[in-house]
Chains A and B, each alone.
Chain A
Amino acid sequence: MLTRLLSGDFPRSRFLALALLIVFLGLAVAPFALSGARPLNVAATICVFIVLVASYDLLLGYTGIVSFAHTMFYGIGAYGVGLSLYSLGPSWGAILLGLTIALVVSLALALVIGLFSLRVRAIFYAMITLAVASAFAILASQLSDFTGGEDGRTFRLPEMLTPGYTLFEGEIFGTSINGRLLTYYLVFVSAVALFLFLLRVVNSPFGRVLQAIRENDFRAEALGYRTVVYRTIANCLAALLATCAGALMALWLRYTGPQTTLSFTIMMDILLMVVIGGMGTLYGAVVGAALFILAQNYLQELTGQASHALAGVPLLANLFHPDRWLLWLGVLFVLSVYFFPTGIVGKLRKPNP
């Protein structure tokens, strides 16, 4: 059962298994174990980013493609659901329609970009996706009549998912089962399902071919695999999954705007999560996303204390300023590309038998 569920790809390390179990159980019981809006928000963000980062790992870690357009697909998903709910009113049909349109748009864009530029070398693809993604971000903020511009759009969810809705009277473990909780579990269950689907993909023969392309594309081509086709399919798959992640994020936030979905900062965050967690293994995405988002939310307080202690020293105090947490993660990123390119998970995991 577990073998089927994990597609035979076990953590192969006690520490890693423990870490994954902690993340999974932590996310599963988050609404009951933690009180307050912020911890729940962190937990939901982790769920969404695990899917987003894992789908990026399919490109970067498994196929060896560097794309900077991943946030674009994420944004398409968020905008698809968001705008559809905004203009059609809160209903399940609107969500479904928005998601379908977003998936179709993502697929078409991924196909066009892929066929146009995946034939050439990795660097070329990285630059072209960067250009296309930034053009898309500017377009989204320019077409303000349609997308709400820089302010984005706030929308209402179907009644079942609103905080005012309660499934039944009474409480379970001291928590009432309201719509907010249902939304969280919708996000959580979808994230788990999408993650297991990705695990299935990378452990299939198709995933093997992707890894072969990463290791030596010339040889893969010589063995009879059309590398362009495989790369394009991987690109489309990753785009579709990122779109789903974006849709989940929009549902959770009840808001869609360029800053939360399309900005270049998010792209950098994804890159940091993949590399620090570990490229070429989906568990890396789980560890990376969980660590990064926890750091984003709680490391600031830690460095804030360090900054307070160093208040007398001019430059050092700035170095430990709470807003400079990204600096330390950036340094960690550079070091991990050099010294442990397989990331935390690669270090923990025993070599593939």
Chain B
Amino acid sequence: MSTTVQTIPAAEAPLPKLPADYKPLLLVPALALLALPLIGDFPAWVTLTVAGLAMGMMIFLMASGLTLVFGLMDVLNFGHGAFVAVGAFTATFVLLPMQNWLQVDSVVMNLAALGLAILLAMVVTGCLGWIFERVIIMPVYGQHLKQILITMGGLIVAEQLIHVVWGPDQIPLPLPASFRGAIILGEAAVEKYRLIAVAVGLAVFIAMSLVLNRTKIGLLIRAGVENGEMVEALGYRIRRLFVGVFVAGSALAGLGGVMWGLYKEVLTAAMGSEIMVPVFIVIIIGGLGSVGGCFIGALLVALMANYTGFLVPKVALASNILLMVAILLWRPQGLYPVAKR
């Protein structure tokens, strides 16, 4: 690669880069700082902000796959919530038999059990995603109306199947012993599990950004989002790429489901469809198809929900609608619009 570039003198000068768009990045700290005087109490603000960031990271995990799938193949999966729920429920296969590992106050054993549960959940949801793509989505490419209907149908069936496999009752899922409780920073109490959620979310975001920006597969995915036909004309099979992204997105939703289930400490079959509303708001705010926008959108939505939940609890969810309207008035295509749409 490098040798061919050097033989052509004109190509030595790097291509002029697009100016980076930093404005949406500033929204997150701006929102946090704006909330500080309104809340007026610094420790409470720290607690709320960390809680918001943790929730945002979990929403990001669930939303990132959805937005990439949409960007790449113009498919919006309304059944994405099913993967979230299935992931969380699958984790019980590991977490409930290994209760004694979880109740020991040892970080290593806790993490081992949790890691195993997450791995299993991701494998199962990944496989499920593959089946879902084959059976449910493949026959309806390019037909939006049918896609919405069919993925909704898939969601109904999946939720009912969860009832069939795991029974109709909700399942309590206690946190591992060493992740319970809070760390006291100054006067602010920060729950340990929230810090873990932030760490996991950040790790996934960084890994995803590296894959998308530094590897060939990432290059193909980004090119596919911009102009799929062109990538196909160059000889790459975008279908295979798409199936890969769909499976990865489903597995991420499974991971998000496990994190979310542990956060709520109780599992219901409807948890997937409940979380879909903020997820949809996030991907609309971020710009359909954009991972960076999705990340910022998730943080904004979660922070907003936490702040308003503290200040005026009755309108917490309506506040996200207002946030969405405000952002769409500023940028009608979302924070980072994807070029072709």
A: which residues have CB within 8 A of B?
Answer: 60, 64, 66, 116, 121-124, 126-128, 130-132, 134-135, 138-139, 142-143, 264, 268, 271-272, 275, 315, 318-319, 321, 323-324, 326-327, 329-331, 333-334, 337-338, 341
- Report the minimum CB–CB distance from A313 to chain B (whole Å): 12
- Report the minimum CB–CB distance from A51 to chain B (whole Å): 21
CB pair A131 B273 closer than 8 Å: no
Look across to chain A and name the residue whose beta carbon is closest to the beta carbon of B75: A123
Main secondary structure on A side of the interface with B? helix
**B residues less than 8 Å from A319 (CB atoms):** 164
16 A-B pairs with CB atoms under 8 Å apart are A66-B148, A121-B144, A123-B147, A131-B277, A139-B318, A268-B156, A275-B149, A318-B164, A324-B160, A324-B163, A326-B156, A327-B164, A330-B156, A331-B157, A333-B149, A341-B146
Number of interface residues, chain B, beta carbon within 8 A: 41
Kindly list 13 other residue pairs between chains A and B, CB separation below 8 angstroms, not including A123-B148, A271-B149.
A64-B145, A123-B144, A123-B147, A138-B316, A138-B318, A139-B315, A268-B156, A321-B164, A326-B156, A326-B160, A331-B157, A333-B153, A341-B146
CB pair B324 A131 closer than 8 Å: yes
Interface 1/0s, chain B 260-285, versus A by CB < 8 A?
00000000000001001100110110
CB pair B164 A333 closer than 8 Å: no
Interface 1/0s, chain B 298-336, versus A by CB < 8 A?
000000000000000111111011001100000000000
Q: Is B26 an interface residue (CB 8 A)?
A: no
**A residues less than 8 Å from B325 (CB atoms):** 116
A318 to B161, CA, bound (A): 9
With contacts A66-B145, A127-B284 taken as known, whether A334 is within 8 angstroms of B320 at the C-beta atoms is no
CB pair A338 B321 closer than 8 Å: no
User: Max chain B CB contacts within 10 Å: which of A64, A131, A264, A333?
Assistant: A131
With contacts A134-B317, A315-B165 taken as known, whether A122 is within 8 angstroms of B139 at the C-beta atoms is no
CB pair A122 B314 closer than 8 Å: no
**A residues less than 8 Å from B139 (CB atoms):** 338
A143 to B314, CA, bound (A): 7
**A residues less than 8 Å from B157 (CB atoms):** 327, 330-331, 334
Per the 8 Å Cβ criterion, residues 66-83 of B in contact with A are 76, 78
User: Max chain A CB contacts within 10 Å: which of B139, B157, B160?
Assistant: B160
Per the 8 Å Cβ criterion, residues 139-170 of B in contact with A are 139-140, 144-150, 152-154, 156-157, 160-161, 163-165, 167-168
